[in-house]
Structure 1
């Protein structure tokens, strides 16, 4: 049946389907063959230790990782399967958008939007690995779709009111995933405030009840922060920036951030914004959607650009700002000249990323030491060395000099008794009791990205007992060191 349907499609649609299939194949290869990034391993540990919330993020994505571990095991599938489910959900949302934007030819609209998503290097990666953005993207799209349905409906229409509550529900779940979901709700609120035709809604209770629903879903995060002196909120607003992010200005942060977003989300996707005038010729739903996306993207970008001018920030924090270009790609990109270089860039990036993380760090060919990629390789070798040293030195405990290294060792050694001895605050500080290590002898795995000074001050004596050099096809990739320390004197930070 599917084959007959495929034969009925014109050659262009079949070509788009073939390209999507190629991207999905690369996605599956990357998902199953690449080692966990250190942040992914960190979240994997969260999945094994359910909490109301965590120091770095709300808890929903971690709960989902915990669920997939129960179903698919504690290996790579259990760790990453949630990203595959949310990618399927994201694709379904793009289909729903396409049906309303182009009801006469929804398949073509969907295929273009799906390719726009997959060919964006950042969105390709973020819907493959289990950084929490994969779930944020899906749930934000679900909220935006229902907000657009509500805005596109008559004031007292029951279907529209139901869509409003569904939007609030999805927004609440998105905010239970990452705090940045706030920008979706803020963008919607600004649409209501700035558009007189929506002002009658302000006189009715549904907007306020829906907002309360979204807020009520944040109960786990709020309770955890109340129990822990608002540690997560303080971390994001102050601590991670070594002070308030609004205190200083550094132009190079802004320039770097702008270039990274432009290139890594795809310059051709960004350039499609120049065709925004084409929206006017579309149906009312598409115009309403574009207006909503403008405010969601605008508030996201305005806040983040104000922040990145003062502190170093990650480019992917802008993903909600670029999400509107994905949804509107059937109009803004369509079958124009922008589509093909976007696809070409995306395919090349997807192939290179898959090779880089699944086979060999490509920077090694050029003599460049890529620590971010190198940390994903050689963990069988590391685990074997740790086990051998632990037995030889009869260590009372094992620790690491970097909190993400704890997570990777937890994942690869399948044990949860590793201690974090670094000064950087993390979720491990809420779990471990370093006072219990007082006077004990410990084996410490030192990561080359960490500083040794803090580590040496935590023992009466400490000596280097092993160096673990990770190589791939003869190329040096990464180095770890094993230290044995006596009479531990933990330093709480």
Structure 2
């Protein structure tokens, strides 16, 4: 009898351990550990790849441009709210203007964004679905670029994801003031990152109006105070624009201008939008995102509160962008934030979390094709940078700038009046930004715009008119006729002499060259007008 009792107790103990291992809590802990293991491994790999990439390529033009913004913190800039400039300024201060610091920032933002999305998905569904969301996002070419190049989308995606999480938490416990305060801050910081964030409060109201369980939120003052205070972060940006003739608005308006096209050109532009989206999000995954959004709309009545939340935060905007693509060109990154909840919806669908079933094909081939593209992209970059293929025109735009800056800096070291000499360029805004970043002296760069209009932040800032009487070290893009200086620049100086040439070999008969001039004693300067900004280059 005693033996039987012991055996019975052992059996019960084993059954208890088995039950614990198969319980939802145990499963959640397992998938959570797997997620953070995956996140850590990806972070280490990307950190090593980033260091390799940094050793082979310089900053992209936009990155150098935003870095230059960071040296003059303000409440606004020519084309964007101030967050990217502030972040660049902080990075420059913390890392001594090191290129790896600029490259590390998007990796940190991207890693944090994945962690937030996992937390949101685990809250909505389960940790296993959260793990799949991370895999699906990691298996997109877009995610490679988002974690390697520091643009305005890196902070925007983080604050957007935080807003999705915090609004859901606030809706579940509307009496919790801290959740609303966190949401207010996320919306505000997102608004300072990119104007697209202003769409989020509208989605909050629409969800509260559509969801029966959340309709009481419309009577909750916390919701309206959060929206009011969160969007109020745009106030100093608007104030800055009033001081600069609404230059950001004027720039943004050009993105929505349309031109009459032939049927063939219109069809080419229209098809370009889904083709590029399929490339950046991986073809099968992109198709799966469209399918799940379509099916979710079709089965709206059978969706629960969670699925409706995700659909309302993605579907209508994605449909709107497709409609907009019929009338104009759409930049690939514009709808990026609206794919975030769609990825969660997709993961829930293939995991059986939605009322309509998904075939295994969508999960299996999304990960296979997406994963293959990611591997190919990394191998392609390795092969290109380690062979003569790195002479491609697009890659040349990110190469050779360090050497260019070193050569340019030597000219600055030799000017006769260093205390009374400023540096300027006559080329594109990237010329000014890259020289400012790569010249060892990190000089303040001025730019001459031949059109006399405001095309960049360099025309918004005070120009050489604040340096009357000083000399100028002038870098003229070597693509123009050698030895020739623009009459529009020369007329402002007492005299101009040619000092030499900066020339860097980029391989395959490609060179980057600047003719260097010394303008003696600036006599006058015509500051570009801001009343009619010219159309910016996309």
Q: TM-score, normalised by structure 1?
A: 0.80
Give 5+ residue unaligned stretches, structure 2. 1-25, 352-362, 529-538
Number of equivalent positions: 464
Displacement of 1:143 after TM fit?
A: 0.4
Displacement of 1:177 after TM fit?
A: 0.5
Match of 1:348 among 368, 373, 376: 376
Displacement of 1:18 after TM fit?
A: 6.4
Aligned counterparts of 1:47 and 1:67: Cα–Cα separation in 2: 8
- 1:223 corresponding residue in structure 2: 239
- 2:286 corresponding residue in structure 1: 270
- 1:397 corresponding residue in structure 2: 422
Residue-by-residue CA offset, 1:286-323 (whole Å, 9 max, x unaligned): 94343233333345435544554444442122211322
Aligned counterparts of 2:480 and 2:428: Cα–Cα separation in 1: 6
Displacement of 1:137 after TM fit?
A: 0.7
Greater displacement, 61-70 / 123-132: 61-70
Residue 133, structure 1, aligned to residue 145, structure 2: no
Aligned counterparts of 1:333 and 1:353: Cα–Cα separation in 2: 32
Q: Residue 193 of structure 2 aligns to a residue in which SS? A: coil
Given that 1:90 and 1:138 are in contact with CA atoms closer than 8 Å, whether structure 2 keeps it comes out as yes
Aligned counterparts of 1:332 and 1:456: Cα–Cα separation in 2: 64
Greater radius of gyration (CA):
2
Match of 2:475 among 445, 450, 456: 445
Classify 1:113/1:470 alpha carbon distance in 2 versus 1 (closer, same or farther; 3 Å): farther
Given that 1:442 and 1:485 are in contact with CA atoms closer than 8 Å, whether structure 2 keeps it comes out as yes
Residue 425, structure 1, aligned to residue 455, structure 2: yes
Classify 1:63/1:289 alpha carbon distance in 2 versus 1 (closer, same or farther; 3 Å): farther
Aligned counterparts of 1:291 and 1:92: Cα–Cα separation in 2: 22
Displacement of 1:213 after TM fit?
A: 1.5
Residue 376, structure 1, aligned to residue 398, structure 2: yes
Classify 1:193/1:80 alpha carbon distance in 2 versus 1 (closer, same or farther; 3 Å): same
With a CA cutoff of 8 Å and minimum separation of 6, indicate the structure with the bigger relative contact order.
1
- 1:457 corresponding residue in structure 2: 488
Given that 1:143 and 1:170 are in contact with CA atoms closer than 8 Å, whether structure 2 keeps it comes out as yes
Given that 2:208 and 2:216 are in contact with CA atoms closer than 8 Å, whether structure 1 keeps it comes out as no
Residue 205, structure 1, aligned to residue 227, structure 2: no
Residue 111, structure 1, aligned to residue 131, structure 2: yes
Displacement of 1:257 after TM fit?
A: 2.5
Residue 96, structure 1, aligned to residue 122, structure 2: no
Residue-by-residue CA offset, 1:20-43 (whole Å, 9 max, x unaligned): 735751454236434211111111
Given that 2:277 and 2:286 are in contact with CA atoms closer than 8 Å, whether structure 1 keeps it comes out as no
Residue 121, structure 1, aligned to residue 137, structure 2: no
Q: TM-score, normalised by structure 2?
A: 0.74
Aligned counterparts of 1:84 and 1:427: Cα–Cα separation in 2: 26
Given that 2:170 and 2:180 are in contact with CA atoms closer than 8 Å, whether structure 1 keeps it comes out as yes
Residue-by-residue CA offset, 1:129-148 (whole Å, 9 max, x unaligned): 21011111111001012223
- 2:169 corresponding residue in structure 1: 149
Aligned counterparts of 2:197 and 2:228: Cα–Cα separation in 1: 15
Aligned counterparts of 1:163 and 1:449: Cα–Cα separation in 2: 56
Residue 331, structure 1, aligned to residue 348, structure 2: yes
After superposition, the CA RMSD in angstroms is 3.8
Displacement of 1:68 after TM fit?
A: 2.9
Greater displacement, 219-228 / 479-488: 479-488
Given that 2:174 and 2:217 are in contact with CA atoms closer than 8 Å, whether structure 1 keeps it comes out as no
Residue 412, structure 1, aligned to residue 438, structure 2: yes
Residue 38, structure 1, aligned to residue 71, structure 2: no
Give 5+ residue unaligned stretches, structure 1. none
Displacement of 1:219 after TM fit?
A: 2.9
- 1:170 corresponding residue in structure 2: 186
Classify 1:83/1:289 alpha carbon distance in 2 versus 1 (closer, same or farther; 3 Å): farther
Classify 1:223/1:341 alpha carbon distance in 2 versus 1 (closer, same or farther; 3 Å): same
Q: Residue 41 of structure 2 aligns to a residue in which SS? A: helix
Residue 256, structure 1, aligned to residue 269, structure 2: no
Classify 1:309/1:69 alpha carbon distance in 2 versus 1 (closer, same or farther; 3 Å): same
Q: Residue 69 of structure 1 aligns to a residue in which SS? A: helix
Match of 2:508 among 456, 475, 486: 475
Given that 1:245 and 1:311 are in contact with CA atoms closer than 8 Å, whether structure 2 keeps it comes out as yes
Q: Residue 316 of structure 1 aligns to a residue in which SS? A: coil
